[in-house]
Amino acid sequence: MTTTVATKLSESEARLLEKITEEYGFVSKSEVVRNAVRLYLSLLSLKPKERLITLRLINEVVSPSRISSSELIEEAHREEDLMPPFCA
């Protein structure tokens, strides 16, 4: 099944989409959007803790900080211990 979707982007979103397309070697902006949608849907299928860890790892790859991935995972585990039971 194929679905076609049209969307309006702000100027800054359009510039970022263009930049990502070029920087990461995507064939087209449509490919970037398809991959972003697939990633988002995949993340929704994860439990909150797994989603948090995955998002932090992605963030580390895209925008490296002084904190290592292993430190981010340890931090996520500590935060999980503080989460109310209904969030786990």
* pLDDT digit string, tens, across residues 41-63: 898 898 888 888 888 788 777 76
Residue 83: what pLDDT? 62
Q: Are 47 and 53 in contact (CB under 8 A)?
A: no
Q: How far is residue 8's CA from residue 86's CA, in Å, rounded to a whole number? A: 36
pLDDT band for position 85 (cuts 50, 70, 90): low
Q: How far is residue 61's CA from residue 77's CA, in Å, rounded to a whole number? A: 19
Cα dihedral: 65, 71, 74, 80 (round 10)? -10
Q: Are 30 and 42 in contact (CB under 8 A)?
A: no
pLDDT tens digit string along 17-49? Answer: 999 999 989 999 999 999 988 988 898 898 888
Classify residue 87 as exposed, middle or buried by CB count within 10 Å of its CB (0-12, 13-18, 19+): exposed
Residue 26: what pLDDT? 93
Does pTM surpass 0.95? no
